[in-house]
Every structure is written in structure tokens, then in C-alpha cells.
Amino acid sequence: MSRYTTKNIGDKAEQEAVKFLEKNGHNIIEQNFYAKKFGEIDIITTKDEIYHFIEVKSGENFEAIYNITKNKLSKLYRSIDYYLTTKKIQPAYCVDAIIISKNSLEFVENISL
């Protein structure tokens, strides 16, 4: 019997999310961008000239979306600001989430505080 760590589960969920995004016309720009003290951006894509900053959550069911808290979103927005400043770009962008459960993948667009 194999034991899965939280990191293994998260990595598998992110791989599944990347496949979904590519299949749906997204160009993967970067994965696991670390923004110093602010945190990490799971996946960064572009589609139709818009940047998408995507948080991936996995769990037993859709309730994994509740792990995207106000505090988590605040850190994500600071990470995005850091990314845009570092890359010296000012694109149109949105923040999305992909929620992966045992039998489904849900793409939630334009999440906000």
C-alpha cells in the first residue's frame, strides 16, 4: 500500500489542472512561482491575451474551494503584484481556481476577495 503525502496529492492535482488548461486553450507560462514572503502562485497561463493566475485545490469533494480563504486570496494578490513587478509587465489578468475532487474538476473563473 502506498502512502501519499500532501505534496504528492497537490502535485498530481496540479498536473491534472495543467492538462485541463492546455486542452482548453491556455498557454502555460509558469508553475509554482514563488513570490518571496508572499507565497506561491500555482499556475500562470495566458489565453486570449489575458493572464490567468490559478490556485489549485484538491479534496474529497467540491468543499476544497473553502480552503481558498480571504487570507489566502490576499497573499495570492500580493504574489501577483510581485510577479508583475518582477516581470515588468502590466497585462489584463484574472484570478481563477481549479478544484479537483475524486471524480471531478471544476474551473472557477474570476474569484475575488
Computed over every residue of the chain, the mean pLDDT equals 90
pTM of the model: 0.89
The CATH number corresponding to 6-108 among 3.60.21.70, 3.40.1350.10, 3.30.43.10, 3.40.190.150 equals: 3.40.1350.10
Please enumerate in sequence order all residues whose Cβ is within 8 A of that of 15, keeping only pairs 6 or more positions apart, or say none. Answer: none
Whole-number Å distance between alpha carbons of 74 and 16:
25
User: pLDDT, tens digit, for every residue of 48-96?
Assistant: 999 999 999 988 765 787 888 899 999 999 999 999 999 999 999 999 9
Parallel, antiparallel or unpaired: strands 93-101 and 50-58: parallel
Q: Is the pLDDT of residue 2 over 60?
A: no
88: left (phi over 0), alpha (psi -120 to 50) or beta: left
Q: What is the grid cell recorded at 57?
A: 485545490
Q: Is the pLDDT of residue 15 over 50?
A: yes
